[in-house]
Amino acid sequence: MIEIDFNKYPFPARTRHHTNPSYYIPLKDLKFVPKFYPMPIEKNEWNKIFINSKSPQMLDIGCGRGLFLLTVATQNPTLNILGIEVREWCCEWLKNYITSENIVNCGILRYCVGNGLQFIESNSIEEIYYLFPDPWVKNKHKKRRAFNLEFLNEIERLLSKNGKLFLATDLEEVHKYHIKILEKFGKMKFVEINSDEEWNKPLTNKEIFCKKENIKYYRIIAEKSINCINK
């Protein structure tokens, strides 16, 4: 696990876990577009994100404060990993840390995944992480959940042969929702993971908190079928 010197890299004095809820909603579904909304991207210039100008091989969607993102990047120096996050302060803090510590294979993008990931090439991503997303448990808020059939279509398109999607949540309701959508989608085989050995990934900020407070959490690994390679 990467060790971050928070005296050298302090978080902003005033931070909020949530941001403007409209930022989580696709542009096409908004009646009013708020100021600073992260607009859709059709094509990305990877040379502005990664020093080798290559596209990412790993994707961390909703990377938050970035402990997992930074750890995976340092453990896999030959692979590019892109973190996507909608909260501006998280992105700015991560950009500063990545630049200052010269983590050249790690990039961060402020973006709403509800607007699609068309700027990433098909069959190019080995692993996608969607860990402890905002649960949006109230019925009126569930429209803000990014995890839906449209999202899985994008995931399936992006993943390389036998590429994997990693899911985690500390809410059983959200875990069951993930299973329901995966079953309805039907194009990826998946298994529920019950041990750290099977998971074999660094801890996120949320996992560290859950372990400390003895809070149960749930994990799934979904794999792209070899019969689902996009042409």
Residues with a catalytic annotation lie at 134
**Cβ atoms of residues 116 and 84 within 8 Å:** no
Count of CB atoms within 10 A of residue 34's CB? 11
Angle (CA) 92 96 102, round 5°: 140
Distance CA(132)–CA(205), nearest Å, equals: 10
DSSP line for 143-163: GG---SHHHHHHHHHHEEEEE
Put the strands of the sheet holding 81-85 in their side by side order.
106-110, 81-85, 58-61, 125-131, 159-169, 218-224, 188-193
Distance CA(127)–CA(147), nearest Å, equals: 16
Q: How far is CA 79 from the centre of its chain?
A: 16
Q: E strands along 38-183, which residues?
A: 58-61, 81-85, 106-110, 125-131, 159-169
